Amino acid sequence: MKNIAYIIFFLLFFNLEAQKGANNWVFGTEVGLNFSNNYPEVFESQVRMFRATSVISDDNTGELLFYTDGYTVWNKKHEVMTNGEGIKGVESIAQGIIQSTIIIPVPGMHKQFYLFHLHNDDEDLSDFMDLLFTRIDMAYDNGLGRVVENSKNILINENLAVKITAVQHDNGIDYWLITHGMNNNNFYVNAITQEGVSSSMVIPIGTSYIFGDSSRQLGGVIKASPNGKHLAVSTSSSVPRPFELFDFDPATGEIINARNLGQFSTQYGASFSPDNTKLYLKALNNRDVTHQFDLLVEDIAGSRVGMYVENSFFTGTGGNPTSSMELAPNGKIYIGGGLGREPGISIEESLKGLVVIHNPNKKGSAANVEEVELPLQEDQLVWVSLPNFIQNTFNGLTPTNNPNAPCNDSMGIDLYPNPAEDHIILEMAERCFSEYTLTFYNAIGQFMGRHFVDRQEFGPIDVKSFKSGLYIAVLEFADGRIVKRFVKL
């Protein structure tokens, strides 16, 4: 029995350790981020401006393999890959193009990848998208790779919107590629197997996307939940349109149970939380710019909570509304578009950071939304697009249990709920735990209490007697200290 338990533990641990395919990001103007140490470390990439990007890293080591802006493929040395030019992408640098490429491993073929990319021939986007694929062989040129000449810009489908995603098959080997048509309500689902790319399964469900002069609906995203069981679909129309949620079957590729979560204009980025209980949308309405929905309640649409305007603990403005959002290997959600424009702040200065949802599994303001400046070089700028990843990579992550969390990093400790009403709980990743002394101070430094902590999860700690305001929790370990802050309502 012990041997069986050990085998199960080993497989689960190896699975967590192996999910490093999204460790590197490239986007914006020359921006690269590496999450191998749990927080984003900046490097310089070759991508430029508004174009949507995709990037893939080694699933076991986290080493950068290659990346693309839909036109050019660069290798890990940031050089153009052999035969890596001439990829057919979206003929526009419009800000609304945030999900036009995705990289999928070729099932059963080590070091082989498909790059799926959308393409049109009109800079004004009056033509709908073609879906193409290009095959990449990373066994070539000592691991620097090449684009396979006779498997480049291969047409799969036509007349599509600018949104594309993929979900791992229930068998853990194959994948489903998912796109959406224009002037209809058709989803197109292609099986990606060892035999290649299947013909499209057409699934008519939900509302139709109509192209018109006053409400272009080409843009937006299809975003899958990390467990592969749900799809959220946004549309970039300037006229309010339904934001829709669907159920997806990763065993059959079927899409059912369309739900309208409300009418929103300029819908762009969307993301599920790593624990699959929350859904976020970047869109305009008359109340807010970024929204959270609770997927555990019966009335999901009625659970909507604003993350910016309706959140008294968010002090920024949230940057550009027409931007994407992405889960990261540290269990957080990052939102493109830069920082809020304050008086006297130039556009370039505002494009030096991202909005971060620190605890996306938490409800409402406890999700802890913050504008975070990045240590970018002068020429590096954040724009609206972030990389497009297969979301299964992030399933089950939290800021405290992700495989990259260093044991001496404050991100390895979760204090919740924050803001707090009656109590708080402190939780640390189990593999990082060591005994510590916990001391509370108020905002002016007055001592509020002390505890000795000898277990991974400590609490609930009663804070009902604390007056409303900001408090500081100091965790003192044998080899250092970590400071956390929380608000008492």
Whether residue 2 lies inside any domain: the answer is: no
Cβ 355 vs Cβ 187: under 8 Å: no
Same domain, 417 and 390: no
Residue ending a domain, among 353, 369, 394, is 394
Please tell me the predicted confidence (pLDDT) of residue 69: 94
CATH number, position 180 = 2.120.10
Whether residue 13 lies inside any domain: the answer is: no
Please tell me the predicted confidence (pLDDT) of residue 14: 38
Rounded to whole angstroms, the Cα distance separating 259 from 245 reads 5
Same domain, 314 and 442: no
Same domain, 373 and 445: no
Residue ending a domain, among 338, 369, 394, is 394
pLDDT digits (tens, 9 = 90+) for 404-425: 555 544 456 778 888 888 999 8
Tokens of 339: 């920082």
**How many distinct structural domains can be found in the chain?**
2
Whether residue 399 lies inside any domain: the answer is: no
CA 97 distance to own-chain centroid: 16
Same domain, 427 and 335: no
Same domain, 281 and 321: yes
Please tell me the predicted confidence (pLDDT) of residue 50: 72
Residue ending a domain, among 327, 361, 394, is 394
Q: Residue 93: which domain range?
A: 21-394
Same domain, 469 and 335: no
Please tell me the predicted confidence (pLDDT) of residue 3: 45
CATH number, position 427 = 2.60.40.3080
pTM: 0.83
Under-70 pLDDT residues of the chain = 1-18, 92-96, 122-127, 213-216, 286, 341-344, 400-412, 429-432
Rounded to whole angstroms, the Cα distance separating 236 from 217 reads 5
Count of C-beta atoms within a 10 Å radius of residue 212: 10
pLDDT digits (tens, 9 = 90+) for 174-187: 999 999 999 999 99
Concatenated DSSP letters of 156-221: EEEEEEEEEEEEE-TTSS-EEEEEEESSEEEEEEEEEETTEEPPPEEEEEEEEE---SS---S---
Same domain, 431 and 386: no
